[in-house]
Chain A
């Protein structure tokens, strides 16, 4: 019990601290690739602290859903993080739920965020909610197929079991089914985290925004919680990608030296994945909303091929 609590505390701290860093790294790398100087890597931390100290404006039209949503978003993202192996193969709360619980907990956060978008009565909020629910809905089948393919390889939906089985056969990611599933999940993660070509996190242009439209009315600490929660969600999804497919360096125990090595490899893998995301974001233009289903259909087909190849190879 105390051991689980200690592990949870450590991992929670890691989640809270690394999540803004990853956002910062992606932002900086993207700026460099576009030959801009861009903000400092630590800028997201400064933004969060500044937002937390500010006052906030609550729309007259909003109900209790509006203040509740930031908490739900933040808390579900954090819990999902505790179910995912980050530096060590056994995640602190992996008993509480596996990959299916992860998907549905993130959906709970999204549910409340979409409600809060509608709660203010402004049409931007409704527009964002509608688009967010649409994209997440059509991303879901592809995600589930890819999850099926990975879960079959590990014979479990438990994330720690998945990581353990990946560690035990560390070159498995070269198997066609795993590579196809990785490609499918990569597209889904791009869509779920609201990155180009699906959504542009940097835009406030009404015709294109999705996530930003939903949270348009938030300010101050609530906005900080939502931004932080979103970056934790992004970190968790990236962690899922790197640790289930490329388990190198995952520590099997929780001693200090093992943790140090695990942390080093973990951050390295995150950096590499961030580079991939930056490349995708820089070389692609944002798609029209009604082109997104085609992209996700590609992910679906990749997922289906991954499944079929599990019993061909």
Chain B
């Protein structure tokens, strides 16, 4: 593998991403040419990055790429160690598919929209994401982190005509910076204690610290990265910002941007801190479980398709954090083999979620483009005008619900096995958390299935629920190609899990010092096991093959008995009313009604019905129905918090009188204080 010039490919990819944006900005007049060249450059960049990351991953050692900057403390150093390469690989795969999709998607943009600006910020996002995953220096990391937040902000606000998009962008911006503040504090502390700002110097730097310092560092980083990961309770920006962005950007944000937070947490807890205390792992596990269950519960009642997908992102981030937390706990208990199973589950789910969530967001983008609405109740019947988009969405829905034999099932199966192993092999009372987490994961999985039955069934099946849905059209071929790639990948990663998982060996080796694939893949590459073949096996490819073979049985049964040609089309039962219309159909709100009532304590649903009548209540002239679910975190936590901050802030208004002399005085005083402080120390 040494023949492959990894650093050349990596820098080539970055340049290609950057060139795409600069070209888009400079050639904004020729929309068609801009679109094609922009997408070609981003595809090329993604390909180069993908090859470089895969080569670095297979190489299993760190590749250091350094560019001098001329600025003190700052050096553009990138390091492709297994962890970075893996995340960068997932990113490259998604960005390749999204770039292909964009070729068609950008065609549908309103001509009045500034395409050049969009291309610029989009490619800035690609560059900064790559830099975040590969930076080897805290300064560079923070710069890339900020550029990522800013470019994402502009993309979220791209459709700025709608006020809700602007406020979504602002919320994202504020939350993102609260998180960044914590990260800066963390990196500065770590830098002081480690004596350098290089990630290579941070390696195991926390191991020498006292448990209190270790714990406080962990909390700072966990909060800062948790905001980006969409962890509950700091998730509120996510369901607002992800749907507001254009379809291709939503896909990138939900699939990859939240993974920067997960990447950070993995870096901190496995690489920098050495061995964080036990409670850190338990905290991650608890936050993950809460995010998973609350995320899916909110997704279930959401009528807006893209917001629903955003909530489901919170759920999946939760599942990832559950596996990660499990891994950390097992590590604290000194069980590296079990920790490796949990870590593999976590890492595989990261990749899988990137693939199926981008697939779902891209399909949702196609649907929103075709129907002009994000509301599930305004879709319906789309499987007829858009059969291929519907098929792609269905594949994504099956995968994300964790159903066999697709990829989501494999990572959830590994998570269950890790949790089960945790209960069986740890001895203290804390082990009761594993089955509790496992049963909540089961609830999450089943609710996710309900959620996606609702999304696909209401959105794509039965009769169109609005004229726009009736006149929908199939997506652009390039969009279908992008979605098709991801759909095939969902199937491939599921059926070929036994082939794919050994690629994770360098990661477990780097983070835990154990290789797993030998124990994980058993029976000649046919089945997966949680470390020991007797502990249980699963063979996704075998399941798929058996399902196809067994389909011969019902086929034969029908062939033997059924007299062909007796398939009569007819109307569905309409209770004797004159014909079935979209008003008879079950709605998305009605579908989630039983669960809304069962979990009423969480949702606190409010319902208002006003009936106007002239003669008798049985003959209403008009009925007004209103139903609402209280957003618990916003009303009970964030609104009071914001109010209090605003009240305190208003007291400082007196020192902001607007006089320039006063401001100059403030600056002077600050300078003096800092000088005194600097000279004394």
Contacts and interface: CB of A to CB of B under 8 A. Distances in A.
Interface in B421-458: 423-424, 431-432, 435, 438-443, 445-447, 449-450, 452-454, 456-458
A216 B573 contact: yes
B657 interface: no
B543 A107 contact: no
Contacts of A158: 534-537
A152 interface: yes
A96 interface: yes
Contact of A122 (B416, B441, B452, B580): B580
B538 interface: yes
A200 B440 CA distance: 28
Contact of B457 (A61, A71, A115, A217): A115
A114 B457 contact: yes
Nearest to B447: A137
Interface of B: 381, 383-384, 398, 401-404, 409, 412-413, 416-417, 420, 423-424, 431-432, 435, 438-443, 445-447, 449-450, 452-454, 456-458, 461-463, 523, 526-527, 534-539, 542-543, 546-547, 550-551, 553-555, 557-558, 560-563, 566-574, 580, 584-586, 590-595, 597-598
Interface of A: 12, 16, 49, 52-65, 70-71, 74-76, 78-79, 82, 93, 95-101, 103-105, 107-108, 110-111, 114-115, 117-127, 129-131, 133-134, 136-145, 148, 151-152, 155-158, 161, 216-217, 220-221, 224-225, 289-290, 293, 300, 303-304, 307-308, 311
Nearest to B443: A141
B440 A141 contact: yes
B318 to A, nearest CB: 15
A11 B570 CA distance: 38
21 contacts: A49-B561, A55-B566, A61-B381, A70-B554, A78-B550, A95-B539, A96-B537, A96-B546, A97-B543, A111-B452, A115-B453, A118-B586, A121-B462, A121-B572, A126-B585, A129-B586, A130-B593, A142-B439, A143-B442, A158-B537, A221-B557
B453 A111 contact: yes
Contacts of B446: 107, 133, 136-140
A177 B453 CA distance: 35
7 closest pairs, A vs B, by CB?
A: A126-B586, A55-B566, A118-B457, A157-B536, A121-B462, A144-B442, A133-B450
A65 B461 CA distance: 9
Contacts of A303: 439
Contact of B562 (A70, A108, A123, A221): A221
Contacts of A138: 443, 446, 598
Contacts of A75: 547, 550-551, 553-554
A213 to B, nearest CB: 10
Contacts of A16: 553
A215 to B, nearest CB: 12
Contacts of A155: 424, 534-535
Contacts of B423: 148, 152, 307
B584 A98 contact: no
Contact of A96 (B412, B453, B462, B539): B539
A290 B598 contact: yes
Nearest to A53: B561
Contact of A130 (B401, B443, B586): B586
Given A95-B526, A101-B538, A104-B409, A130 B442 contact: no
Given A123-B585, A152-B423, A65 B453 contact: no
A143 B446 CA distance: 12
Given A118-B457, A121-B584, A308-B432, A145 B439 contact: yes
Given A140-B442, A152-B423, A290 B597 contact: yes
B591 A148 contact: no
Given A16-B553, A133-B446, 18 more contacts: A12-B553, A58-B570, A60-B569, A93-B542, A101-B413, A101-B538, A115-B457, A125-B572, A130-B591, A130-B592, A130-B594, A136-B450, A138-B443, A140-B439, A148-B420, A156-B535, A221-B557, A290-B594
A129 B451 CA distance: 12
A61 B572 contact: yes
Given A130-B592, A133-B449, A148-B420, A59 B543 contact: no
